[in-house]
Chains A and B, each alone.
Chain A
Amino acid sequence: MSVAIALDAEVGPATCRHCAQPVGAGAGEFCCAGCEGAFALIHELGLDGYYSRRDAAPVAAGDGDAPVANLAGQVEISPGGACTLRLRVDGLTCGACVWLIESALGREAGVDSARVNLTSRRLTLRWAGAAGEADRLAGIVRQLGYRVAPFGATETDDPTASAEKELLRCMAVAGFAAANIMLLSVSVWSGHATGMGEATRTLMHWLSALIALPAVAYAARPFFRSAAAALRAGRTNMDVPISVGVTLASAMSLAVTIQHGEHAYFDGAVMLLFFLLIGRYLDSRARGRARSAAEHLLALNRAPVTVLAADGSVSVALPSTVPVGAMVLVAAGERVGVDGTVALGASEIDASLVTGETAPQAVAPGSPVFAGMVNLAAPLRLTVTASGEGTLLAEIIRLMEDAEQGRARYVALADRIARAYTPVVHVLAFATFLAWVLGAGLAWQPALLIAIAVLIITCPCALALAVPTVQVAASARLMGRGVLLKSPTALERLAEVDTVVFDKTGTLTLGRPDLLSDAGRSAADLEEAARLARASRHPLSKALARAAGPGYVAEGVREVPGCGLELDTPEGPVRLGSRPFCGVRAGHSPEVGPEIWFARPGREILRFAFADIPRPDAGATVAALKASGLRVELLSGDRAATVAALARELGINDWSAGVDPQGKCARLAELRAAGAKVLMVGDGLNDAAALSAADVSVSPSTAVDVAQTAADAVFQGDGLAPVAELLFVARRARTLVRQNLLFTLAYNLCAVPIAMLGHATPLVAAVAMSSSSLVVMANAMRLSRPGAKRRRLSGDIP
């Protein structure tokens, strides 16, 4: 654990004792109250060993006052009275986190077991007692500095998990059978050279049959099922020739064994299954991981809402469980979790995730608000409305459905090849049979054996591995860079992209206000304002606090709804807030963009201006995309002046402002009609339809639910570089897939004539098939190696 020791040495007095972030001078040992609480709890439980065991510092524990849904309803109670709760946990960095959570929960009275799965980031908690304990136990995990979210009722069982387990079992059986049959086959092959007796050889063949036939019957079921489904639908896929090849190889070998023949292909049939199952299992696991990570992100961002009951009691619930007509409270600074109309209160809301418009909008009783908007100024009461006809969401969903219908179903490359490959191979085998019987005058039985040998040797083992192995390598590499591939065909579609269309707010920019620098402002003034701002959850206060860094919070700060923050000092009230609240004279300075004012008794009034700044590497990414020959376009719902300024800053020549969702779809349709392959990058509700209308789409992990669901890939983090990386990996993957396909074509061109001439003995088949599969796999693995050429598309992005 040398890493931990090194880290401990670094943690000097100027860093937080819990999260190791720098702490402002004189601000104490902790960066925030959350970290202090987490440290105190860990210390109290006697789990200080955590700090020496971890090898990565956790994220700051945060204020931890976000509402948490009532978890008692999520508890499964077994007949014996034991309660089980499953939670998603965010913020796990290493095994020490697992140890910390399990130890802390294990010491609670009544807890039978607490088990954290580091791979799927889930906590399974079992205890004896009341279901109501759930909130208290989850509270401990939150207090330790981790975010938790419950599993929805519908997502408790992952349907792909059981399919994956089945693949793993099939793979194990096929592997066992392949190894043991190969043992017997090698002796048979050596026997050909050293004169093994017919009786011994037949015994070996029977033993092989005994292992191979049950193994094929068990391990080939996934292929048989898929092939049968394809044939019933009147199509062929790669599994049809695989199933035919494996079945024929087994049946023919059994016939040979019964007749005491010389060549049995049991080893080839089972080995083929083994290789294919490895590929299939890796593919399924990589895809399952990306999908579950995407679901995890969505669930954690789906914050619970505060429901006000008719009798005035307040409870916290998940948005999906709130009935239509219920009254919901939205505090200032909170994100609206449900669609509704304002029943009481007047405030300003930030609708940038919904419309792309960055300027705050005023709302009053009767105004519709949508999930994803942020309440800026004052608390609101909403009446929940169904997302039925006439609402914005319903309109977006209708647009998305239209877009989906308009998009021709993309056929994966492997399926296109399979459609051509299957008939060609079967015709070749049939022609071989006819040629030997009619042309060479061979009896029908040996001719049939040769024809079947053709089918075995062309069984598309390497071909079936060519695409999935590259996809596995690509998705693993992308996952390491924070990109989650959700659609299996996304990489193929990405490789063809020649136009990239960006949304502005939240995509090219961070979608949150950031303090603009001002040369005339002293660091002391900023710190003084930040001491008030740290007490508030208003987005502008948070931006101010972020700019000032961690530090003290002033005692006794009052939040005046809709106005700002106030602090009583001996000299008089200090105020941080809106123009009228701070007594700014009209015409003091022009009002552009979001701002707050800072008024202190006897001192000059200060203005803090904010803007939605671009992502730190947005300019470099746009330049890199343009350098690699892509056309970049900006489509925004925001005002022309803002969009033009950003487009100029980032060097984007084609931009349109004030575009509504229909307009975005229309623009994409126009581009696609002109023959362009379009990648849409967007995050808002207003982008969701455009995301479905594009050839392929990507959204940041901060996007609204609908957009993330519509996108083919999701990227995390503050940077835009993952988009360039995604396009680079997709192009590289396409090159590797083409190389693999060319190789398998060359392999077939060599192997088929040998088989047609009747020289494909089981030894030749085994060597040819396994070596071709290994070459294809090794070639795919080149993608996970950071090559010298990787910087070509990502430019100089750090």
Chain B
Amino acid sequence: MNVLLVLIPAALFLGLMGLLAFLWSVRSGQMEDLDGAGTRILFDEDRPLPARRTGA
């Protein structure tokens, strides 16, 4: 049963990492616009932007 002494802390550590990642995402506002985030990923520019016209 000594393996528990390694496995339980390992499981808790991994879980804790997940929790901290979630709390970080809440703090940095990633949970504020779930509708937008879902579509935003589709609209990344995959070619360079055209040069901005002066005086536009």
Q: Does A165 contact B (CB under 8 A)?
A: yes
Say which residue of B1, B40, B43, B50 sits within 8 Å of A200 (CB atoms): B1
Q: Which residues of the partner chain A approach B38 to less than 8 Å between Cβ atoms?
A: 95
Q: Which residues of the partner chain B approach A96 to less than 8 Å between Cβ atoms?
A: 39, 43
Q: Does A207 contact B (CB under 8 A)?
A: yes
A residues contacting the other copy or chain, number (CB 8 A): 29
Could you write out 9 A-B pairs with CB less than 8 Å apart?
A: A95-B43, A119-B32, A119-B34, A120-B32, A169-B26, A172-B26, A176-B19, A200-B4, A207-B8
Chain B residues with CB under 8 Å of chain A are 1, 4, 8, 11-12, 15-16, 18-19, 22-23, 26, 31-36, 38-40, 42-43, 49-50, 52-53, 56
Q: Which residues of the partner chain B approach A95 to less than 8 Å between Cβ atoms?
A: 36, 38-40, 42-43
- Report whether over half of chain B's contact residues are helix, strand or loop; otherwise say mixed: helix
Q: Give bound CA distance, A165 to B31, whole Å.
A: 9
A117 touches B43 (CB 8 A): no
Chain A residues with CB under 8 Å of chain B are 1, 44-46, 53, 94-96, 98-99, 107, 116-120, 165, 168-169, 172-173, 176, 179-180, 183-184, 200, 207, 211
**Listed residue (A96, A172, A184) with the most chain B CB atoms within 10 angstroms of its CB:** A172
B40 touches A98 (CB 8 A): yes
Q: Give bound CA distance, A744 to B38, whole Å.
A: 38
Say which residue of B11, B32, B40, B50 sits within 8 Å of A183 (CB atoms): B11
**Listed residue (B8, B18, B34, B38) with the most chain A CB atoms within 10 angstroms of its CB:** B8
A118 touches B39 (CB 8 A): yes
B15 touches A180 (CB 8 A): yes
A119 touches B19 (CB 8 A): no
CB proximity of B23 to chain A, nearest CB, Å: 6
Known: A118-B35, A173-B19, A176-B19. A165 touches B26 (CB 8 A): yes
Say which residue of B12, B18, B36, B52 sits within 8 Å of A119 (CB atoms): B36
- Report whether over half of chain A's contact residues are helix, strand or loop; otherwise say mixed: helix
Known: A46-B50, A168-B26. A94 touches B15 (CB 8 A): no
Say which residue of B4, B12, B34, B40 sits within 8 Å of A99 (CB atoms): B40
Q: Which residues of the partner chain A approach B35 to less than 8 Å between Cβ atoms?
A: 118-119
CB proximity of B45 to chain A, nearest CB, Å: 8
Q: Which residues of the partner chain B approach A45 to less than 8 Å between Cβ atoms?
A: 56
Extra A-B contacts (4), CB below 8 Å, given A200-B1, A207-B8: A95-B39, A98-B39, A98-B40, A118-B35
CB proximity of A26 to chain B, nearest CB, Å: 32
Q: Which residues of the partner chain B approach A207 to less than 8 Å between Cβ atoms?
A: 8
CB proximity of A317 to chain B, nearest CB, Å: 29
Q: Which residues of the partner chain B approach A169 to less than 8 Å between Cβ atoms?
A: 23, 26
Q: Which residues of the partner chain A approach B50 to less than 8 Å between Cβ atoms?
A: 46
Say which residue of A44, A53, A173, A211 sits within 8 Å of B12 (CB atoms): A211
A44 touches B56 (CB 8 A): yes
Q: Which residues of the partner chain B approach A119 to less than 8 Å between Cβ atoms?
A: 32-36
Q: Which residues of the partner chain B approach A44 to less than 8 Å between Cβ atoms?
A: 53, 56
CB proximity of B14 to chain A, nearest CB, Å: 10
B15 touches A176 (CB 8 A): yes
Q: Which residues of the partner chain A approach B43 to less than 8 Å between Cβ atoms?
A: 53, 95-96, 98-99
B40 touches A176 (CB 8 A): no
CB proximity of A120 to chain B, nearest CB, Å: 7
Q: Which residues of the partner chain A approach B39 to less than 8 Å between Cβ atoms?
A: 94-96, 98, 118
